Amino acid sequence: MLRIAIQKSGRLSEDSLKLIRECGISFVSSSYKLKVEASNFPLEILYLRDDDIPGYVQDGVADLGIVGQNVLVEAGCANLEVEALGFSKCRLSLAVPRGAEYNSVADLQGKSIATSYPTILGDYLAGEGVRANLHTISGSVEIAPSIGLAEAICDIVSSGSTLLGNGLREVETIFRSEAVLIAAPNLSAEKQELLDQLRFRMQAVRRAQR
Ligand code: PRT
Ligand code: ZN
CATH number reported for the structural domain that contains residue 32 in this entry: 3.40.190.10
Please indicate, yes or no, whether residues 130 and 144 belong to a single structural domain of this protein.
yes
- Residue 210 pLDDT class (50, 70, 90 cuts): confident
Please indicate, yes or no, whether residues 84 and 186 belong to a single structural domain of this protein.
yes
Q: Rounded mean pLDDT of 63-73? A: 98
HSE (CB half, 13 Å, CA atoms) of 99? 2
Q: Is the ipTM here above 0.90?
A: yes
**Is the predicted pLDDT of residue 149 greater than 90, yes or no?**
yes
CA torsion sign for 44, 50, 54, 59 is negative
Please indicate, yes or no, whether residues 50 and 148 belong to a single structural domain of this protein.
no
In DSSP terms, 112 is beta-bridged to 133
Longest dimension (CA), the chain: 58
Q: For residue range 153-170, list pLDDT tens digits in order.
A: 999 999 999 999 999 999
Please indicate, yes or no, whether residues 84 and 133 belong to a single structural domain of this protein.
no
Compute the radius of gyration of the chain from its Cα atoms: 19
Q: How far away, in angstroms, is 156 Cα from ligand 1 center?
A: 7
Q: Rounded mean pLDDT of 37-58? A: 98
199 near 82, Cβ under 8 Å?
Answer: yes
Closest CA to 136 of 157, 119, 160, 156: 119
Looking at ligand 1, which residue's alpha carbon is closest to its atom 32?
Answer: 156
Q: Rounded mean pLDDT of 104-113? A: 98
- Residue 32 pLDDT class (50, 70, 90 cuts): confident
**Is the predicted pLDDT of residue 29 greater than 90, yes or no?**
no
Closest CA to 114 of 149, 148, 147, 90: 149
Please indicate, yes or no, whether residues 9 and 40 belong to a single structural domain of this protein.
yes
Average pLDDT over the chain, rounded to whole?
97
Domain count, the chain: 2
Q: How far away, in angstroms, is 32 Cα from ligand 2 center?
A: 19
Q: How far is CA 170 from the centre of its chain?
A: 20
Q: Which domain holds residue 187?
A: 2-88+178-209
Please indicate, yes or no, whether residues 130 and 60 belong to a single structural domain of this protein.
no
State the pLDDT at residue 93.
Answer: 98
Closest atom of ligand 1 relative to the 140 alpha carbon: 36
Q: Which residues surround ligand 2, an ion (CB under 5 A)?
A: 50-51
Percent of the chain with pLDDT over 90: 97
